[in-house]
Amino acid sequence: MRPGRADRGAAVGSARRKRTPRMPSPTRLLLWHDNAAPYLDAIAAAGLSERVRAEALPRKESPSAGQMAGTEALLGWGVPAGLLPRMPRLRWAQSLTAGVEGWLALPDLPPGLTLTCARGTHGESMPENILGALFHIAKPYAAIAEAQKSSRWARQVAMPLNGKVLGILGLGAIGQEVARLAMALRMEVIGTRRDPAPLPGVEVLPPDRTDEVLARADFVVLLLPSTAETEDFMDAARLARMKPGAWLLNFGRGNAIVDADLVAAVTRKRIAGAVLDVFREEPLPASHPFWTTPGILVVPHMGGMHPDRDKVVARLFVDNLARFLDGQPLRQVVDRGRGY
């Protein structure tokens, strides 16, 4: 017998009740980076591929109208002014760098956008490179290599680092690792940080006691963020508080130093010299006096670089991505008030 209308209605109602609930649409993610592969691999390894619709875009290209309209999360070095207001669904941006002054300088940075930085991802390379700079200063291998070019036997005496005082302005994650490595060389470490909580083996002072660090240190390492307070931080007055034989190493931000004041201090032997990894303008112009001032070593922003840096940043990013998808607090959220 053919089923009656009531039977057919019951069957249809039962089918409707058994329908599988619709899955939420994947979150649209834009990887605005020339090397997206490590991030896509990390997303897959974390089992998040089905929860996101990831699109890779080279830095030289601009997002399409569809990408601007639909993107909810963004990974990138930075964005030009005028772009973010055209991305109405964007809720989170992950910077590829620890410094975010370029992001914060945007005149149209949406107030509700969560911005996270790559703070901590330089920990595998920068402390070693800072240590390398200390060895470059103290151990005369560069001069020995130069003498070898002319087959010249030139005896050298290396400066011991043991017993020297290392001053670190900015005892964050990088500064603390530098301190640990320096103490293994039996150096005395003193430094400043906003939260002067104790650190094993390190004399920690608040920023308002910076002058004490400058007066005692044989080597001063700048690891300061870029804020209104750190702009032109090392000027003629602070350079004059350093020991005459001390060295300044800047691996933080280029605008923390008054360039002309440093050139004058080194030229007049007010301090012994400087190793600079960061600059106000990069690449450093060929006409800049840093290139030709004896006692100043120009390092082309090598400090935080790592052969597999994208894999390191991808670990932080994919952790944050999982948190973002689950509605959990993100790591390394930028405090706009502090500037980092």
DSSP secondary structure letter of residue 227:
S
Residue 129 structure tokens: 């490179």
Q: Specify whether 282 is catalytic.
A: yes
The letter for the amino acid at 255 is N
Q: Which of 301, 306, 315, 331 is catalytic?
A: 301
| Residue with tokens 């017993």, as numbered in its chain | 163
Residue 199 structure tokens: 């650190």
Residue 143 structure tokens: 């001069």
| Residue with tokens 């909810």, as numbered in its chain | 72
In the three-class reduction of DSSP (H, G, I as helix; E, B as strand; rest coil), residue 21 is classed as coil
**What's the per-residue H, E or C state across 53-77?**
EEEEECCCCCCCHHHHHHCCEEEEC
CB 245 within 8 Å of CB 272: yes
Radius of gyration of the chain (CA): 27
Residue 317 structure tokens: 């990013």
Q: Specify whether 72 is catalytic.
A: no
Residue 44 structure tokens: 């897959």
Q: Which of 51, 122, 253, 309 is catalytic?
A: 253
Residue 127, number of CB atoms within 10 A of its CB: 22
Q: Which of 146, 231, 281, 282 is catalytic?
A: 282
Q: Specify whether 203 is catalytic.
A: no
Just list the catalytic residues. Answer: 253, 282, 301
